[in-house]
Amino acid sequence: MSSRPPDRARRAAAVRAALVGTLPVFGAPASAADGYDLTTFFRSETAAQYGEYNGLEGDGQGVALNADLSTALAFGTERHLDLTLRNVGLDTYLARFGLREAGRFRIALSIEGQQQIERLDLSSPYVPSTLTLPAGWVAGADTTALTGLTRFANGNLTEETGRQIVRLEADWQASDRTGFGLDYRWEKFDGTQFRGVALYANAGSNVPAVHLPVPVNAIEQSLELSSYTRLLGTSVNLTGGWSRFNNSVSLLEWQNPWAIGLPGVDYPDGSGALSGAPDHERFFGSIAFAARPAPGLSVTFDADGSLTTMDDALAPWTPNDSLLTPLPLPLDRFDVDQGNLALRGRLRYRPTNGAMRRAAIRLSWRYQERDSDLPREAWVYPRGDATDQPDAALALFNTVHDTSLEKIVGGLDVRTPWRGMVTAEVHRLERNRDNAAVNTNVTEGIRGSYRFRPVASLALRFETLIETTDASTYDFRRSFYLRRTETFVEATPTEQQYDNHPFLRQYHLAPHEARAWRARATWTPTVDGRFQFQLGGRVDVRERKYEDSPFGLVSRDAQTYGIDASLAIGTDLNLSSWASVEFADVRSVGRSFGGGIEKAANQVTPPLPQASDPDRDWTSDFEDRLLALGVAVDWQPLPNWTLHGDYTLTLTNSGQRLDSGAGLDTGGNLPTVETDLHHLRVRAERALVADFRVGFAWEYYRFDQSDWRFTDVDLTTLDNVLLAGARNHDEVVNLLALSVSRRF
Amino acid sequence: MTRVVALALALLTASAAAADGESVCLNCHAADRWDPGHGAHRTDGALSHSTCTDCHGGLGRHLPDPRAAGPAVSFGPNHPASADVQTRACINCHDGGALLGWEHGAHAGEDLTCGACHSVHALPTASATASADAWTGGLGSIDSHDATCLGCHGELRAQLRAPSRHPILEGRTACTSCHDPHGGKGPTDLREATLNTQCLTCHPAQRGPWLFDHPPVSEDCSLCHAAHGSMHSPLLIRRSPQLCQDCHVAAFHPSEALGADGLAGASPNASMLGRDCMNCHSRVHGTNHPAGGRLTR
């Protein structure tokens, strides 16, 4: 692939119209000149999915303002004041004020609003503000007791999280060789999410859970200082910073809906508790160095590190005073430092003359690690906080483990005729872990590519990758038993460790092979001022085989095909279209162990008969399909008229076939889940007078989905999980907008 | 002899052109709609000291015979210089700082030049003002970044329109929010040194540190999430609960094949409906609750 011809920006503008999903009348003004636009709009229906990110949720009418203003401080100077406004009037606003002098400094203060909404029409008896049950609540051991409950006013579980960001950025170029930067960011997360959470019951019994609306209220501040220096052919970048995350909902408590001391329910009347994201403080820094010690030789090195500390008071075993918990917490506070380090060095040498000047060699090395100083023995998890807990026999150690990664890559690039290049690369990656099922994974592979232009208008590129991963020290029992005492692990005969089946492996830790190849072609047959055409196509195939790991994920194949075309006729008409298709096929295999009660951790248990019974194997095949296509047209039929239209279609299809083994009591295949999205946009603009335009836009948005997870779920559907209702959220939205804009 | 005289004249004229700024060049290269010859490097504004030859080098044979040869540094399409030469013309001024890693980045390895993404001569259709240009290096507003990237990385178009995705199409994030096209510190030119560090930049609530963590979380977010987009919310590489069963096939309830018997109207199964496994194991990234070893609280 080589640089695109200079007319690519024109094509990109046409393609952009089809790709970028912001409203044509919102977002950036479509002119390089200063100006502003004011838009009023109307949405026919509540737009949750459509308005998830763009600030157009809800229904009814609204107004939005965009503006770009820039002025020199004085005639003839290079200092400018800039003001940018985006979507003022919506929740997704941006206001930026800046002062700059080209080549010397720039300062900018920005205030931005973002939002994320996920509406699945779930509901809960709780509301975020109280998390208490409504009057007339019926108590019971599980949801079957709620059948007599009449419908109540549910707290809607729509997730809606807003972000407000205040950011101060400054750059100062002290000289041609030295510069400094400052970046301060204050970000607030505010809104509601929802999650399920277990109300712990005794081991062996069913675990009631409830979906809760969880208030979100957190602030993160960060400050980063940076500098760069160039001296004697070397460049050095330095950064250092600090951040702090404060979460006001670090512990969530709610009223136990089951309540209540009924037989079989070990959780007495009172509250439950859920841990939130912890407050933490982080210091980070980096150094990057680049030099050209000899002609054709380039060397870079960078190091990046951070230290995250937390000193948090923890919840008690249970906030419920009615429970008897004779074992005190090991510590009152969770005090831990967690460090991350990444090092990287790279070298590239390309002879500047002689026979080898068409070749270049590359070497790179990367090392990264994550260390936590939390001692493994410091925390013991008593499984359950019911009246017979904690029980030392059921204790587990915490599972935080350290990891490290080291990767070495060597490559050779050779330039070939037809503006081509052949690349060959070998790489080796080793990942190490402590206190985990797999201590070491080693991945070795080769990658090759060839690109060339047989004729000036045709660019071709091929690439292939083959790599194998070995789990050299796989030992499944570590995953389970390292959470207990090492003495016990060593004392237990292998054949008596009921879960030590040799085939039980976790896919990303298991030995596997990966193969991938991709091809890309771009054809630009005509390049002249009046007629331009470009056609591109891509194929991308990736296969992963986990055949050494019969259980869990055993294969994953993915294929992507794409084609796009753009046509520009004269200066008045642009047409573009594209299509992408993705196929993903995954196979998983498991063995049913027939359930049974959870075993006491420190109890020697004979192997379950199912552990070595292939007749109890099951296989599931998953097929994910994604099709997306778009067409767009930009047309200027008259000097004062511009028309734009685009349509995108996105279809997904996800199915599962299940092949049960003998004696398996599972049901059949799962229904296919489909989503359909149609999005049509039409815009017309007319320049009434010079620099003053009127625009009209219409958008049609339709989304349908058939996810069985949210179909016909009612108050009592889920037995022990209290979810008052759920259904798919489909929507059809029409949006009409009228805008006036001024450029000057 | 004629050639020698012509060459001498050309050299003299080239020197004059450099000395006189753009006057000689603009005799032929008049500003028009698509090639205005001004813009971000215009002579009437921010960089008044720049001339055409600052970037294009000496004119050489281009002046006496414009169609036969380009200037020393031509950006095409007729007489393009090599990618290294084109890029060097830009890096002569724009080196260090954010461009420190350019030579070792993926784009340099693909022989991409600065002009492949940047419009050195500002275009009237760029959706940016001069102020925005100053901030984005002439790329235009944040919206146009993605169209620029997708011109080559078209395989991501479908994912960016999947039902669960990062809000790139809505302009709330951009490709450059995570990737540094000039050569980033991390894999795939990520801005941060590791993938997880990159993700946690915007998702600090998942940073921990956790008392009980989920081991894949600490190693690689992409083991479960597809950053560009997925048909399975929230950005999951496949549907749960099957995603969970890729690893959790040991004893107890994960070992059961979760089939149609868990659907509403049949025998209810808390592992299938609603948030499936996360109905109970909601703290899937980790928890600091002292009784949260099963990631349930």
| ipTM of this predicted structure | 0.89
Average pLDDT over residues A102-113: 91
Which among A189, A198, A538 has CB closest to B154?
A: A538
CA-closest candidate to residue A463, choices A452, A471, A472: A452
Of residues A26 and A366, more confidently modeled: A366
* A268 upstream amide cis, omega within 30 of 0: no
Average pLDDT over residues A55-69: 88
Q: Test A714 with B280 for CB contact under 8 angstroms.
A: no
Query: pLDDT tens digits for A509-520?
Result: 888 899 999 999
Please tell me the predicted confidence (pLDDT) of residue A16. Answer: 36
Tokens read off for A437:
């099922």
Average pLDDT over residues A334-361: 90
Average pLDDT over residues B101-115: 85
CA of A368, closest CA in chain B: separation in Å?
8
Average pLDDT over residues A433-446: 85
Please tell me the predicted confidence (pLDDT) of residue A30. Answer: 40
CB atoms closer than 10 angstroms to residue B107: 20
pLDDT band at A222 (very low <50, low <70, confident <90, very high): very high
Please tell me the predicted confidence (pLDDT) of residue A4. Answer: 36
pLDDT band at A585 (very low <50, low <70, confident <90, very high): very high
Q: Name the DSSP class of B248.
A: -
CA of A72, closest CA in chain B: separation in Å?
10
Q: Name the DSSP class of B236.
A: B
Using the predicted structure, report yes or no on whether residue A539 has a pLDDT greater than 50: yes
**Phi and psi at residue B54, in whole multiples of 5°?**
-60, -35
Distance CA A552, CA A589 (A): 5
Q: Which of A382-386, A482-486, B31-35, B108-112 comes out lowest in average pLDDT?
A: B31-35
Using the predicted structure, report yes or no on whether residue B26 has a pLDDT greater than 90: no
Tokens read off for A742:
């001024």
Query: pLDDT tens digits for B202-221?
Result: 999 999 888 888 888 988 99
Q: Residue A337: list chain B partners with CB under 8 A.
A: 209
Q: Test B155 with A19 for CB contact under 8 angstroms.
A: no
Average pLDDT over residues A28-35: 52
Q: Which of A347-361, A481-495, A725-739, B63-77 comes out lowest in average pLDDT?
A: A481-495
Please tell me the predicted confidence (pLDDT) of residue A22. Answer: 34
Average pLDDT over residues B59-66: 83
Q: Test B154 with A714 for CB contact under 8 angstroms.
A: no
Determine which helix (DSSP H) or strand (DSSP E) holds B17, and give its type and residue range. Answer: helix B2-19
Q: Which of A38-42, A85-89, A99-103, B30-34 comes out lowest in average pLDDT?
A: B30-34
User: Per-residue b/e over A650-666, b at no fewer than 16 CB within 10 Å?
Assistant: bbbbbbbebebbeebeb
Best B279, B284, B295 residue to mutate vs chain A (most A CBs within 10 Å): B279
Q: Test A718 with B279 for CB contact under 8 angstroms.
A: yes
Measured over all CA atoms, what is the biggest interatomic distance in chain A, rounded to whole angstroms? 89
Best A8, A718, A731 residue to mutate vs chain B (most B CBs within 10 Å): A718
Please tell me the predicted confidence (pLDDT) of residue A659. Answer: 83
User: Per-residue b/e over A266-294, b at no fewer than 16 CB within 10 Å?
Assistant: bbbebbbbbbbbbbbebebbbebbbeeee
* Rounded-to-5 percentages of helix, strand, coil across chain A: 5, 60, 35
Of residues B241 and A598, more confidently modeled: B241
CA of B109, closest CA in chain A: separation in Å?
9
C-alpha atoms less than 13 angstroms from C-alpha of B69 in its C-beta half-sphere: 14
Q: Test B273 with A726 for CB contact under 8 angstroms.
A: yes
Q: Test A22 with B127 for CB contact under 8 angstroms.
A: no
- In chain A, % of residues over pLDDT 70: 76
Distance CA A383, CA A368 (A): 34
Which among B96, B163, B293 has CB closest to A381?
A: B293
Which among A32, A92, A578 has CB closest to B126?
A: A32
Of residues A693 and A354, more confidently modeled: A693
Distance CA A582, CA A657 (A): 19
Average pLDDT over residues A670-693: 91
Using the predicted structure, report yes or no on whether residue B46 has a pLDDT greater than 70: no
Please tell me the predicted confidence (pLDDT) of residue A154. Answer: 62
CA-closest candidate to residue A119, choices A62, A60, A59, A46: A46
Report the alpha-carbon angle B125-A65-A62, nearest 5: 125
Distance CA A500, CA A497 (A): 5
pLDDT band at A12 (very low <50, low <70, confident <90, very high): very low
Of residues A199 and A542, more confidently modeled: A542
Q: Test A98 with B135 for CB contact under 8 angstroms.
A: yes
Helix ranges (H only) for B122-268 are: 130-136, 142-150, 157-160, 175-178, 195-202, 215-219, 242-245
Of residues A466 and A386, more confidently modeled: A466
C-alpha atoms less than 13 angstroms from C-alpha of B20 in its C-beta half-sphere: 12
3-state secondary structure of A299: strand
User: Per-residue b/e over A193-206, b at no fewer than 16 CB within 10 Å?
Assistant: bbbbbbbbbbbebe
pLDDT band at A490 (very low <50, low <70, confident <90, very high): low
Best A8, A20, A281 residue to mutate vs chain B (most B CBs within 10 Å): A20
Using the predicted structure, report yes or no on whether residue A523 has a pLDDT greater than 60: yes
Query: pLDDT tens digits for B131-146?
Result: 222 222 233 333 344 5
Q: Which of A67-81, A274-288, B175-189 comes out lowest in average pLDDT?
A: A67-81
Of residues A110 and B138, more confidently modeled: A110
The two beta strands, A721-722 and A209-231, are parallel
pLDDT band at A261 (very low <50, low <70, confident <90, very high): very low
pLDDT band at A369 (very low <50, low <70, confident <90, very high): very high
Q: Which of A491-505, B240-254, B255-269, B272-286 comes out lowest in average pLDDT?
A: A491-505
Of residues A225 and B173, more confidently modeled: A225
Q: Test A315 with B274 for CB contact under 8 angstroms.
A: no
Q: Residue B56: list chain A partners with CB under 8 A.
A: none
Determine which helix (DSSP H) or strand (DSSP E) holds B16, and give its type and residue range. Answer: helix B2-19
pLDDT band at B73 (very low <50, low <70, confident <90, very high): confident
Which among A12, A290, A507 has CB closest to B100?
A: A290
> What is the overall mean pLDDT for chain A?
80
Using the predicted structure, report yes or no on whether residue B121 has a pLDDT greater than 70: no
3-state secondary structure of A479: helix
3-state secondary structure of A345: strand
Q: Test B162 with A656 for CB contact under 8 angstroms.
A: no
CA of B113, closest CA in chain A: separation in Å?
6
Count of A-B CB contacts under 8 Å: 522
CA distances (Å), A459 to each of A266, A560, A613, A661, B153, in order?
A: 69, 19, 55, 51, 15
Using the predicted structure, report yes or no on whether residue A574 has a pLDDT greater than 70: yes
Residue A360 class from Cβ within 10 Å (0-12 exposed, 13-18 middle, 19+ buried)? buried
Residues with Cβ within 8 Å of residue A515, at least 6 apart in sequence: A464, A465, A466, A542, A543
Please tell me the predicted confidence (pLDDT) of residue B254. Answer: 72
Report the alpha-carbon angle A668-A673-A677, nearest 5: 170
The radius of gyration of chain A's CA atoms, rounded to the nearest angstrom, is 31
Please tell me the predicted confidence (pLDDT) of residue A559. Answer: 93
Q: Test A334 with B171 for CB contact under 8 angstroms.
A: no
pLDDT band at B189 (very low <50, low <70, confident <90, very high): very high
Distance CA A342, CA A47 (A): 43
pLDDT band at A586 (very low <50, low <70, confident <90, very high): very high
Q: Test A308 with B208 for CB contact under 8 angstroms.
A: yes
CA of B32, closest CA in chain A: separation in Å?
12
Q: Name the DSSP class of A142.
A: S
Please tell me the predicted confidence (pLDDT) of residue A220. Answer: 96
Q: Residue A53: list chain B partners with CB under 8 A.
A: 167, 170, 172
- In chain A, % of residues over pLDDT 90: 36
Best A1, A16, A317 residue to mutate vs chain B (most B CBs within 10 Å): A16
**Residue whose tokens read 């081509």:** A420
Of residues A167 and A402, more confidently modeled: A167
Of residues A309 and B259, more confidently modeled: A309
CB atoms closer than 10 angstroms to residue A728: 17
* Rounded-to-5 percentages of helix, strand, coil across chain B: 40, 5, 55
Distance CA B125, CA A388 (A): 72
Tokens read off for A652:
């997904």
Q: Which of A75-89, A108-122, A314-328, A620-634 comes out lowest in average pLDDT?
A: A314-328
Please tell me the predicted confidence (pLDDT) of residue B174. Answer: 84
Q: Name the DSSP class of A143.
A: G
The radius of gyration of chain B's CA atoms, rounded to the nearest angstrom, is 28
Q: Which of A526-540, B36-50, B159-173 comes out lowest in average pLDDT?
A: B36-50
Distance CA A119, CA A130 (A): 21
* B209 upstream amide cis, omega within 30 of 0: yes
Please tell me the predicted confidence (pLDDT) of residue A132. Answer: 82
